[in-house]
Amino acid sequence: MKRLLLFLAASGLLATATAQKKIPATYNTCKESWNRRTEIITPEVKGYNCYKADLHVHTSYSDGCVNPSGRVMEAWYEGMDILAITDHLESHGGVRKFFKVTAPYNKNKKPTRYVVPGSTKMPKNGIDPGLKVDFNAIHKEAESTNISRGYGMLLIKGCEMARNKEKLGHYNAIFVKDLNSIYAFELKDAFKKVKEQGGLIFHNHPSDVSRYETEWHEDVHNSGLIDGIEVANGYRYYPQMVNRCIERKYFMVGCTDAHGFTAHRYSVNGHFRTHTIIFAKECSEEKVKEALLKRRTLVYSGGDLIGEEKWLSEFINASVECQFVKENSKGDSRTYTFTNLSSYTYHLRRGGAVHVLEPFNTLTISFGKDKKTGRISDPQFRIDNMWCADHQHPTIEFKIDKK
């Protein structure tokens, strides 16, 4: 009996010791993946690659709440290939807030003064007017994260310029070599400095045309200082500006204009972030800039695609494989399959029926005789989630790849 008791006691101690050894100091409740990126699959269109770009975002150095590194990580995880951080050239609320927080550590207990970049003249009293923001350093901070994490995104140096008091609007400058040197009191003079550096300028969130038909606007447009227009800003789309881009031969872009986090606005609603699809040979500054100047772009916003009808047609035909299946025995109808090889959804309307072609899915649809011509209808649809000139949905005929 004693031996049995001793054995049980020893077994209990051993079990307790074993159990204690098995309790880890740290236990991961979920296996994290730091490299899981949302890939937005696009086709090759007319020999061009499709690059996804957001050319208008703000950081905490401006009036955003995310730092440059965060913006780069956000964009990469959400499937972007190209990003332009475009902090406001004239005002930096984030910097002012920092100065206020650090005021107790200054000798005079007052916040450090901030001045607009370009205010280089020394006051008569000889006192330094304050600190300035180094816009080039913001870009370098973003590029450092891009390189260290191996994202390989194309980061375009840019900024946003505005003169609200004169009601001239907001404009983005991109492909600028030295952001610190382009400020000028007159906005048109600042535009000229951008152009001297080989940069491009596009009009941001323009709303309706009538607001920007002043003498000043006509002057800058006629002077060749404007290259493009933001036809979609977040979930806002400006139909009048599509016509203006076509008339004036400007490129179209769509951007998030992100100030807060992008995830809470787009993915929770089941959409990709607003972006521009750029058709270029390669993801380089030279080729992307060329594509913009040649107006090879489409805009994605809230599940819709916006742009010139020819590029909408080329894009959907490259995305969707249309195959002839059969003709019925009476010879009065033909059946086709439509396979979506892209990450974008297409709403195909034919009469009163709307066929939703989801990414990487196939629809089988039959076409009967046209009532007017008496011939079997061609495989064409009005695309209800595409917009072209005059705020119209394009009607697109699909190219058939007969087996």
- Residues 382-401 pLDDT 10s: 999 999 999 999 999 999 98
Contact 327, 334 (CB under 8 A): yes
**Whole-number Å distance between alpha carbons of 369 and 373:** 8
pTM: 0.89
> How high is the pLDDT of residue 22?
84
CATH number, domain with residue 68: 3.20.20.140
- Could you tell me if 63 and 199 lie in one domain? yes
Is 124 a member of any domain? no
Is 403 a member of any domain? no
Q: Quick one: pLDDT band at residue 119, thresholds 50, 70, 90?
A: low
Is 187 a member of any domain? yes
Which of 280, 307, 334 marks a domain boundary? 307
**Whole-number Å distance between alpha carbons of 70 and 274:** 18
> How high is the pLDDT of residue 116?
62
> How high is the pLDDT of residue 16?
58
Q: Quick one: pLDDT band at residue 118, thresholds 50, 70, 90?
A: low
> How high is the pLDDT of residue 312?
98
- Could you tell me if 264 and 283 lie in one domain? yes
- Could you tell me if 322 and 390 lie in one domain? yes
Q: Quick one: pLDDT band at residue 372, thresholds 50, 70, 90?
A: confident
More confident position, 2 or 161 = 161
- Residues 191-232 pLDDT 10s: 999 999 999 999 999 988 888 888 999 999 999 999 999 999
Range 132-161 average pLDDT: 94
Which of 307, 332, 367 marks a domain boundary? 307
Provide the 10 A C-beta neighbour count for residue 204. 20
Percent of the chain beyond pLDDT 70?
A: 89
The mean pLDDT value of the chain amounts to 89
Range 281-295 average pLDDT: 98
- Could you tell me if 179 and 286 lie in one domain? yes
Q: What is the CA radius of gyration of the chain?
A: 28
Is 38 a member of any domain? no
- Could you tell me if 281 and 341 lie in one domain? no
Work out whether strand 304-306 and strand 386-387 pair parallel, antiparallel, or are unpaired.
parallel
- Could you tell me if 381 and 262 lie in one domain? no
- Could you tell me if 217 and 149 lie in one domain? yes
- Could you tell me if 202 and 326 lie in one domain? no
Range 357-369 average pLDDT: 94
**Whole-number Å distance between alpha carbons of 35 and 76:** 10
- Residues 225-274 pLDDT 10s: 999 999 999 999 999 999 999 999 999 999 999 999 998 899 889 999 99
- Residues 42-96 pLDDT 10s: 999 999 999 999 999 999 998 999 999 999 999 999 999 999 999 998 877 787 7
Is 110 a member of any domain? no
Q: Which residue intervals of 149-293 are DSSP H helices? A: 187-196, 215-222, 239-248, 285-293
Is 122 a member of any domain? no
**Total count of domains within the chain:** 2
Residue range of the domain that includes 258 = 49-92+133-307
CATH number, domain with residue 349: 2.60.40
> How high is the pLDDT of residue 98?
77
- Could you tell me if 347 and 201 lie in one domain? no
**Whole-number Å distance between alpha carbons of 25 and 207:** 57
Query: For residues 258, 259, 263 and 267, what is the CA-based torsion angle, rounded to 10 degrees?
Result: -40
- Could you tell me if 260 and 165 lie in one domain? yes
Which of 257, 281, 307 marks a domain boundary? 307
Range 322-351 average pLDDT: 92
Work out whether strand 333-340 and strand 304-306 pair parallel, antiparallel, or are unpaired.
unpaired
Is 128 a member of any domain? no
- Could you tell me if 76 and 192 lie in one domain? yes
The position carrying tokens 């159990």 is 19
Is 181 a member of any domain? yes
- Could you tell me if 166 and 279 lie in one domain? yes
